[in-house]
Structure 1
Amino acid sequence: MLHILIDTCVWLDLAKDYRKQTIIRAVHELVESRQIKIIVPKIVKDEFARNKSRVAEQAQSSLQAHFKLVREVVDRFAEDDYKMHTLNSLNETNQRIAMKGEAVNDSIKWIEGLLTAGIWKATTQEIKQRVTERALAGRAPYHRSKNSVGDAVIIETYAEITNANTKRVKFAFVTHNIRDFSQPAGDQRKPHPDLQPLFDGARSTYWTSLAELLKAEFTEDLDDLVADSNWFDEPRRLSEILVATHLLEKQIWYNRHRNLIVRIAKGKTKVVSFEEWEAADPRERNRTLVVDSIWERALRAARRTEIEVGIENLGPWDDFEWGMINGKLSALRWVTGDDWDMLDT
Structure 2
Amino acid sequence: MTATNDPETPPDAEAGIKLRILVDTCVWLDVAKDYRQRATIAALQQMVESDAVELIVPRQVVEEFARNKDRIVAEAGRSLSSTIRRVKDALTALGGEDRKATLSQLDDADHQITTLGSAVNDSIGKVEALFAAAKIIETSNTAKLLAAERALDKRAPFHKSKNSMGDAILIELYAEALAGKPDGEALAFVTHNKQDFSNMGVDERRPHPDLAGLFDGTGSIYALNLAELLNDFAPEWMEELKFDYEWQQEPRRISEILEAEHLLFRQIWYNRHWNTRIAIEEGREKVVAEKDYSRSPYKPGEILDTVWAGALEAAKRTEEEVGLDNLGGPWSDFEWGMLNGKLSALRWILGDEWDMLDT
Asked whether the two chains share a fold, i.e. TM above 0.5, the reply is yes
From 236, 256, 273, give the equivalent of 2:272.
Answer: 256
From 274, 286, 307, give the equivalent of 1:294.
Answer: 307
| Contact 2:29–2:69, Cα closer than 8 Å, also in 1 | yes
* Greater mean alpha carbon deviation, residues 220-229 or residues 36-45: 220-229
SS in 2 for 1:322: helix
- Matched residues in 1 for 2:58 and 2:275: separation? 66
Report what 1:68 is aligned to: 85
What is the aligned-residue RMSD (CA, Å)? 2.0
| Contact 2:107–2:255, Cα closer than 8 Å, also in 1 | no
**In the alignment, structure 1 residue 171 sits paired with structure 2 residue 184:** no
Matches within 5 A, 1:176-195: 176-195=192-211
- Matched residues in 1 for 2:181 and 2:232: separation? 23
Q: Which runs of 5+ in 1 are unaligned?
A: none
* Greater mean alpha carbon deviation, residues 30-39 or residues 202-211: 30-39
Deviations 1:147-198 (A, max 9, x none): 1111112111111112123342111111000111111321111111111121
* Greater mean alpha carbon deviation, residues 312-321 or residues 137-146: 312-321
Matches within 5 A, 1:321-336: 321-336=335-350
Report what 1:308 is aligned to: 321
- Matched residues in 1 for 2:323 and 2:262: separation? 14
From 146, 150, 168, give the equivalent of 1:134.
Answer: 150
**In the alignment, structure 1 residue 93 sits paired with structure 2 residue 109:** yes
Distance 1:231 1:18, change over 3 A: farther
* Greater mean alpha carbon deviation, residues 89-98 or residues 196-205: 89-98
* Greater mean alpha carbon deviation, residues 199-208 or residues 312-321: 312-321
Provide TM-score, normalisation by structure 1: 0.92
- Matched residues in 2 for 1:333 and 1:196: separation? 59
Instruction: Give 1:248 deviation, angstroms.
Output: 0.5
- Matched residues in 1 for 2:333 and 2:98: separation? 46
Report what 1:55 is aligned to: 72
Distance 1:14 1:44, change over 3 A: same
* Greater mean alpha carbon deviation, residues 300-309 or residues 180-189: 300-309
Corresponding letter in the other structure for 2:172: E
**In the alignment, structure 1 residue 118 sits paired with structure 2 residue 134:** yes
SS in 1 for 2:203: coil
- Matched residues in 2 for 1:275 and 1:92: separation? 49
Q: Which runs of 5+ in 2 are unaligned?
A: 1-17
Report what 1:46 is aligned to: 63
| Contact 1:60–1:102, Cα closer than 8 Å, also in 2 | no
Distance 1:230 1:87, change over 3 A: closer
Provide TM-score, normalisation by structure 2: 0.88
Report what 1:150 is aligned to: 166
% identical aligned pairs:
49
| Contact 1:5–1:40, Cα closer than 8 Å, also in 2 | yes
Matches within 5 A, 1:1-16: 1-16=18-33
| Contact 2:43–2:237, Cα closer than 8 Å, also in 1 | no
Report what 1:244 is aligned to: 260
SS in 1 for 2:160: coil
Larger proportion of helix: 1
SS in 2 for 1:144: coil
- Matched residues in 2 for 1:9 and 1:91: separation? 32
| Contact 1:29–1:225, Cα closer than 8 Å, also in 2 | no
